[in-house]
């Protein structure tokens, strides 16, 4: 302002000085000097100083800070914390905020302080903090369940495998699988050896915080139960010895069981022993190892001695005819019983006294005295009497007699009568019969009595009689005759009355005899054919007693045939296929014909069995009877298929025998071809040797190796010659003209197993002495020497060769070649045969049933080559609890599934199995194909590992935090010896691989992602009691071999498969790494060698570009074992 009111408004100016920079950008302090100058008088000046400071010394201010958090832990005992970030302001801009923990971080169990710091540009800072409390992960001890108290016999094992194993489970989801252990306290021992009372305390310890639970199991090994007799001798009653009235008795010792061992038996009496008359009690005692005893008893009763005579009973008196046997077997035998039960069976005898004889031969009366004597005392006996009479006082009896009869007289008034003499029987002999008249006696008119007398051997007599009456009548008229009707029939040599009929005649009166009928023939005409004729048959009837009493009649007979034969059966038309032959014999059943009068003669323009070529033939049969009457019949024979016919082998079904390839190599016999026509006898590059048994033989002009010769002959439609007999061998040798040539015999597939290339059976050989000898291990192909003997030759040797050719061209037009590779499933193979303008085709199928062990459904193969010493015994995961034992290196158990969920944790336990209870440290790797792409190579699919010699356990957590679909996929468990398997497709020396099914349920929660969150590392499985020096997963190195196991292992078994091969071969060693592989072709050139030694037991060799032929594989193991094997490459 003006200094005075009279002064003008001053002019203000300033200047700055004393600038001092601050500690942060833009911070400064300086002085501003102000000057007020009068505008009219510059000397009127005033000054003042202003201090100006730009600085920030005020801290930022938090306007909000998160409240303290309390969180529940997850399955990994951690919790993820989320909060709203704090808000901060500053008087001089936006401060920078930092925090000790990020929003969403994972917090461990306990209280964690989260501190936020706000700092402005000038370093002023303020803080805001809150706590994150994660509640305890596991607070309760495990839940333990003791096995039941165990009661056993003294000396029984108290191992947990016998007495039972306690089980434990986590009390809370986050507590983990408890570890179970136990300790024993002996409460008492005795009273017998091995008797003991143990109190076993089982302890379950949480592996997170060592919380424990326990339970007590009582184990009592004692025996308070006496033995049990399962059988005891029964009471016995015996007879004493007659001399001393004692009985020696033996018995089968009783059987006894004890629940704790075999008891000891003692007896009150020895076995066997002597026992007196009366009842004796025998007691047997069984005592077990703890002094418990039981008894069983039985009685032995010895009957009194013998002192009574036997009781005898005589047979009845016997009466029979004279001459009958008097042996007791006929007349009867006395019986006797002991006089008392103590006596033996009496001996029976007899003596005879003749009381009388006669009156006829053989008649007799006998007094028989029977005697029964005790076998042990001859003074004890009894007797009885039996009378035996042989006598006959009964006369004979007539059983048949002629009856009274009346007969007519003949012309001289007499009658001859014939009768059957009567028969008579007698009770003792054949009677003698005498008659007053004999049959055939001539009786005069009147009544005559005929008497028969029968007399037996003792003079007893019976008689019988009948009468013969001859009336007074006579015969004087001829018989009455009747002729048969005229007869018309077929010509025949004999036409007797049996054919044309017989005349009949009767007597003219009752006094005449029956007429005798006869005949004679008178020919009228004969012809026109043999035996045809017309004649008169003159019949004659004569009284048998009066030859002059005769009658006649005439019969006309005509034999002729005017009727032709007729066919009763005829062949139908016939169609026959020649199947390539020029002609073929054709047979048929000739027709049959019938004629009314005679046999029929058949004639034909063709005969059965005659050969026919192609065409239609009419076969005519003519049937002619003996009189020339004829009839004909015809049928046709149509012959087709002449020229060429091909027949394929039957359909082939094989089983895949090499799990490393998706199929199999299959060979077959070439189709057979039948042809009609000339054969080509020229072949470029060959000399025609000739034809033997329908086969053409050609000898090459240029030499070749056996394999090349084989391929050349096959390409021309034939084979290297096969020889089936000495004659064929001699024929071929005669055509060699002193040369040596290859034939089709070889043992290139199996050493010492020779075979012909065309599949013919090896029925004949002609080796040179000392051959075959497989010199240097590489002679597999056979040559014929100039003298016809055979020699095995090297692969690289070249010789002329003999092709055996058919008369046709045979080519395969579809399917892999013979011996080639066939994929799994069914493939059709088709051949065509061509001969000139003729051709024919045939087909057959090749079915390969694939039962590949390992992988399957697109998964790679993984297995142990030898599981004899160690194998996967038990796998437990989620709902899988499977014990399988030794499965030969691989087992597909994808029919057994575990049901799991994304994001959840499941226990897994793996138990190895060992031969002879000898344990080894084994190495485990486990994979799960989470995305189902049929491999285990994706991130996170390797889920667990571990090594040890007993059960390994752990927990596998599936990926989570996603919206993932459900899937059925595969889990692979690999157990190997000597180190971890290199990958999920590894084939290693010892151990086993098992595949299982995994069903993963879908999840619809998570972070919104539809992709898996991979686990950072696989789970390390552990086992209680295993060595502390377990190999970590990061090392994955072999721990070498176990000398104890190596001492049991056999020499390495080398394999080259498939063989023959087309694209790839697998070279492997069963129990020793391979250090060297060299492969040589047929000329001895090395075509492949092992480029780098990596210490594995197998190598794959790509042979797709190799030429077809034979190769030799040299293999050396790391231990120096060598192996040489042939490899046949086919195209």
pLDDT digits (tens, 9 = 90+) for 476-491: 778 999 999 999 888 8
pLDDT digits (tens, 9 = 90+) for 70-82: 988 877 778 899 9
DSSP code at position 767: B
Say which residue the tokens 């050609």 belong to: 698
pLDDT digits (tens, 9 = 90+) for 599-614: 889 999 999 999 888 8
C-alpha–C-alpha distance, residues 164 and 205, integer Å = 19
SS3 799: strand
| Cβ neighbour number for residue 536 with a 10 Å cutoff | 14
267 token code pair? 């007896």
CB 782 within 8 A of CB 765: no
DSSP, residue by residue, 205-256: E-TTT--EEEEEEEEEE---PPPEES--PPPEEEPPPTTTS-EEE--PPPPE
More confident residue, 1083 or 775: 775
Q: What is the pLDDT of residue 1105?
A: 81
The separation between CA 1097 and the C-alpha centre of its own chain, rounded to angstroms, equals 33
Q: What is the pLDDT of residue 1032?
A: 42
pLDDT digits (tens, 9 = 90+) for 336-386: 999 877 788 999 999 999 999 888 888 899 999 999 998 888 888 999 999
Mean pLDDT for the stretch of residues 861-887: 91
Q: How confident is the model at residue 449 (pLDDT cuts 50, 70, 90)?
A: very high
pTM score, two decimals?
0.29
Task: Estimate the share of the chain in helix, then strand, then coil, as percent rounded to the nearest 5.
Answer: 5, 45, 50
The CATH number of the structural domain formed by 61-134 is 2.60.40.10
More confident residue, 803 or 615: 803
Q: What is the pLDDT of residue 1070?
A: 62
Q: What is the pLDDT of residue 384?
A: 94
Q: How confident is the model at residue 656 (pLDDT cuts 50, 70, 90)?
A: confident
CATH class of 1054-1129: mainly beta
Out of 610-619, 694-703, 818-827, least confident range: 818-827
Mean pLDDT for the stretch of residues 650-672: 78
259 token code pair? 């629940």
Q: What percentage of the chain exceeds 70 in pLDDT?
A: 92
C-alpha–C-alpha distance, residues 915 and 923, integer Å = 17
Burial (Cβ within 10 Å: 0-12, 13-18, ≥19) of residue 935: middle
pLDDT exceeds 60 at position 1046: no
Q: What is the pLDDT of residue 1035?
A: 39
Half-sphere exposure (Cβ direction) of 90: Cα atoms closer than 13 Å: 22
Write out 553-619 in H/E/C secondary structure.
Answer: EEEEEEECCCCCCEEEECCCCEEEECCCCCCEEECCCCCEEECCCCCCEEEECCCCCEEECCEEEEE
pLDDT exceeds 60 at position 540: yes
Q: What is the pLDDT of residue 743?
A: 97
Which CATH number is correct for 397-470, 3.20.20.70, 1.25.10.10, 2.60.40.10, 1.20.200.10?
2.60.40.10
Contacts of 243 (CB under 8 A, 6+ apart): none
Backbone angles phi, psi at 601, to 5 degrees: -95, 120
Q: How far, in Å, are 753, 857, 898, 899 from residue 966 at the CA level?
A: 56, 19, 13, 11
| Range picked from 47-51, 199-203, 955-959 for highest mean pLDDT | 199-203
Q: What is the pLDDT of residue 1086?
A: 75
Q: What is the pLDDT of residue 604?
A: 94
pLDDT, averaged across the chain: 85
CB 590 within 8 A of CB 621: yes
C-alpha–C-alpha distance, residues 189 and 126, integer Å = 76
Q: Which helix (H) or strand (E) segment is 524 a member of? A: strand 516-526
CA trace torsion 238, 239, 241, 244 (10° rounding): 90
Q: What is the pLDDT of residue 145?
A: 94
Q: Which helix (H) or strand (E) segment is 74 a member of? A: none
pLDDT exceeds 60 at position 1006: no
CB 646 within 8 A of CB 831: yes
Q: What is the pLDDT of residue 1091?
A: 65
Order the strands of the 405-406 sheet from edge to edge: 405-406, 461-470, 446-455, 432-435
696 token code pair? 């053409």
Mean pLDDT for the stretch of residues 663-679: 77
Mean pLDDT for the stretch of residues 258-266: 88
Say which residue the tokens 């090499």 belong to: 658
pLDDT exceeds 50 at position 968: yes
More confident residue, 301 or 1024: 301
In this structure, the strands spanning 28-37 and 45-54 are antiparallel
Out of 267-271, 714-718, 1001-1005, least confident range: 1001-1005
Q: What is the pLDDT of residue 1093?
A: 62
CATH class of 863-1027: mainly beta
Q: What is the pLDDT of residue 1030?
A: 43
Architecture of domain 228-302: Sandwich (2.60)
pLDDT exceeds 50 at position 854: no
CATH class of 578-642: mainly beta
Q: Which helix (H) or strand (E) segment is 45 a member of? A: strand 45-54
pLDDT digits (tens, 9 = 90+) for 71-118: 888 777 788 999 999 999 998 888 999 999 999 899 988 899 999 999
CB 539 within 8 A of CB 481: yes
Q: How confident is the model at residue 625 (pLDDT cuts 50, 70, 90)?
A: confident
Q: How confident is the model at residue 1088 (pLDDT cuts 50, 70, 90)?
A: confident
CB 475 within 8 A of CB 409: no
The separation between CA 479 and the C-alpha centre of its own chain, rounded to angstroms, equals 94
Order the strands of the 179-189 sheet from edge to edge: 150-152, 212-221, 196-205, 179-189
366 token code pair? 């006998």
Fold assignment, 647-846: Mannose-Binding Protein A; Chain A (3.10.100)
Q: What is the pLDDT of residue 1012?
A: 53
Q: What is the pLDDT of residue 910?
A: 95
Out of 33-37, 548-552, 641-645, 980-984, least confident range: 641-645
Query: In 3D, which of 992, 797, 853 has the Cα closest to residue 914?
Result: 992
pLDDT digits (tens, 9 = 90+) for 385-401: 999 999 988 899 998 88
């Amino acid at each position: 302002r003006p200094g005075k009111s009279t002064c003008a408004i001053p002019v203000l100016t300033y200047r700055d000085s004393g600038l001092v920079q601050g500690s942060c950008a833009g911070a400064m302090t300086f002085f501003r000097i102000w000057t007020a100058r009068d505008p009219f008088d510059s000397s009127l000046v005033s000054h003042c100083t202003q201090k100006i400071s730009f600085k920030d010394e005020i801290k930022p201010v938090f306007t909000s800070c998160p409240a303290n958090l309390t969180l529940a832990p997850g399955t990994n005992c951690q919790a993820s914390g989320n909060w709203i970030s704090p808000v901060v302001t500053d008087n001089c801009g936006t401060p920078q905020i930092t925090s000790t923990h990020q929003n969403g971080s994972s917090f461990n169990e306990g209280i964690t302080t989260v501190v936020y710091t706000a700092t402005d540009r000038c370093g002023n800072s303020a803080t805001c903090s809150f706590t994150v409390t994660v509640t305890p992960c596991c607070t309760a001890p495990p839940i333990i369940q003791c096995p039941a108290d165990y009661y056993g016999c003294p000396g029984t094992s108290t191992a947990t495998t016998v007495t039972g194993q306690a089980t434990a489970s986590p009390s809370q989801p986050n507590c983990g699988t408890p570890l179970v252990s136990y300790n024993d306290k002996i409460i008492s021992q005795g009273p017998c050896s091995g008797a003991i009372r143990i109190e076993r305390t089982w302890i379950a310890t949480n592996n997170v915080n060592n919380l424990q639970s326990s339970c007590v199991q009582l184990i009592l090994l004692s025996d308070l139960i006496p033995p049990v007799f399962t059988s005891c001798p029964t009471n016995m009653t015996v007879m004493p010895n007659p001399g001393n009235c004692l009985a020696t008795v033996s018995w089968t010792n009783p059987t006894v069981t004890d629940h704790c061992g075999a008891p000891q038996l003692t007896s009150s009496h020895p076995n066997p022993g002597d026992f007196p008359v009366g009842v004796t009690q025998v007691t047997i005692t069984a005592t077990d190892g703890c002094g418990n005893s039981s008894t069983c008893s039985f009685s032995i009763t010895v009957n009194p001695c013998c002192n009574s005579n036997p009781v005898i009973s005589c047979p009845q008196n016997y009466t029979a005819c004279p001459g009958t046997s008097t042996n007791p077997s006929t007349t009867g035998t006395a019986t006797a019983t002991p006089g008392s039960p103590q006596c033996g069976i009496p001996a029976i005898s007899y003596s005879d006294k003749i009381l009388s004889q006669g009156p006829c031969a053989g008649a007799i009366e006998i007094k028989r005295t029977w005697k029964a004597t005790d076998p042990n005392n001859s003074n004890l006996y009894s007797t009885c009497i039996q009378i035996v009479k042989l006598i006959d006082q009964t006369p004979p009896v007539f059983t048949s007699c002629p009856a009274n009869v009346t007969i007519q007289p003949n012309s001289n008034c007499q009658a001859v009568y014939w009768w059957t003499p009567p028969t008579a029987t007698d009770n003792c002999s054949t009677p003698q019969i005498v008659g007053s008249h004999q049959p055939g006696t001539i009786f005069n008119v009147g009544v005559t009595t005929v008497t028969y007398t029968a007399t037996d051997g003792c003079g007893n007599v019976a008689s019988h009689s009948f009468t013969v009456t001859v009336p007074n009548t006579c015969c004087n008229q001829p018989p009455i005759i009747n002729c048969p009707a005229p007869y018309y029939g077929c010509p025949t040599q004999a036409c007797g009355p049996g054919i044309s009929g017989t005349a009949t005649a009767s007597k003219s009166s009752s006094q005449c005899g029956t007429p005798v009928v006869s005949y004679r023939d008178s020919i009228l005409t004969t012809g026109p054919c043999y035996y045809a004729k017309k004649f008169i048959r003159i019949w004659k009837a004569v009284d048998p007693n009066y030859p002059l009493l005769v009658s006649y009649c005439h019969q006309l007979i005509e034999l002729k045939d005017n009727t032709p034969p007729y066919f009763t059966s005829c062949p139908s038309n016939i169609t026959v296929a020649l199947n390539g032959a020029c002609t073929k014999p054709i047979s048929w059943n000739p027709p049959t014909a019938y004629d009314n009068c005679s046999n029929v003669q058949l004639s034909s323009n063709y005969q059965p069995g005659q050969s026919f070529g192609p065409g239609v033939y009419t076969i005519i049969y003519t049937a002619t009877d003996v009189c020339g009457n004829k009839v004909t019949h015809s049928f046709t024979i149509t012959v087709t298929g002449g020229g060429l016919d091909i027949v394929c082998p039957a359909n082939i079904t094989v089983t895949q025998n090499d799990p490393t390839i998706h199929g199999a190599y299959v060979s077959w016999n070439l189709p057979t071809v039948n042809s009609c026509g000339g054969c080509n006898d020229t072949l470029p590059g060959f000399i025609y040797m000739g034809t033997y048994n329908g086969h053409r033989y050609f000898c090459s002009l240029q030499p070749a190796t056996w394999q090349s010769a084989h391929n050349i002959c096959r390409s021309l439609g034939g084979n290297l010659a096969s020889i089936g007999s000495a004659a064929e061998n001699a024929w071929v040798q005669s055509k060699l003209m002193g040369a040596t040539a290859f034939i089709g015999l070889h043992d290139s597939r199996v050493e010492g197993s020779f075979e012909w290339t065309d599949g013919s059976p090896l029925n004949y050989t002609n080796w040179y002495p000392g051959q075959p000898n497989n010199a240097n291990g590489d002679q597999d192909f056979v040559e014929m020497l100039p003298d016809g003997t055979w020699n095995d030759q090297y692969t690289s040797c070249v010789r002329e060769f003999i092709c055996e050719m058919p008369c046709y061209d045979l080519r395969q037009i579809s399917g892999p070649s013979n011996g080639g590779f066939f994929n799994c499933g069914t493939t059709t193979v088709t051949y065509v045969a061509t001969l000139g303008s003729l051709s024919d085709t045939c087909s057959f199928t090749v079915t390969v049933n694939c039962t590949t062990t390992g992988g399957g459904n697109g998964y790679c193969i993984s297995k142990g080559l030898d599981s004899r010493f160690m194998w996967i015994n038990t796998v437990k995961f989620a709902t899988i609890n499977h014990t399988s034992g030794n499965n030969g290196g691989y087992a597909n158990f994808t029919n057994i599934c575990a049901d799991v969920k994304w994001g959840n944790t499941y226990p897994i336990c793996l138990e190895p199995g060992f031969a002879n209870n000898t344990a080894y440290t084994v190495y485990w790797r486990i994979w799960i194909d989470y995305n189902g792409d049929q491999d285990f190579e994706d991130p996170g699919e390797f889920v667990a590992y571990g090594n040890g010699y007993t059960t390994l356990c752990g927990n596998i957590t599936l990926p989570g935090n996603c919206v993932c679909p459900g899937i059925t996929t595969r889990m692979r468990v690999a157990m190997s010896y000597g180190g971890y398997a290199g990958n999920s497709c590894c084939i290693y020396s010892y151990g086993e691989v098992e595949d299982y099914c995994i069903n993963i349920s879908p999840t619809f929660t998570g972070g919104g992602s539809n992709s898996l969150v991979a686990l950072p590392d696989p789970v390390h499985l552990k086992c209680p009691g295993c060595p502390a020096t377990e190999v970590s997963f990061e090392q994955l190195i072999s721990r070498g071999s176990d000398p104890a196991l190596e001492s049991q292992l056999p020499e390495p078994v080398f394999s080259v498969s498939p063989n023959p091969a087309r694209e790839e071969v697998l070279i492997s060693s069963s129990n020793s790494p391979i250090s060297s592989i060299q492969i040589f072709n047929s000329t001895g050139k090395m075509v492949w060698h092992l480029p780098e030694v990596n210490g594995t037991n197998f190598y794959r060799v790509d042979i797709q570009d190799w030429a077809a032929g034979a190769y030799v594989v040299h293999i050396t193991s790391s231990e120096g074992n060598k192996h040489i094997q042939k490899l046949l490459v086919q195209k």
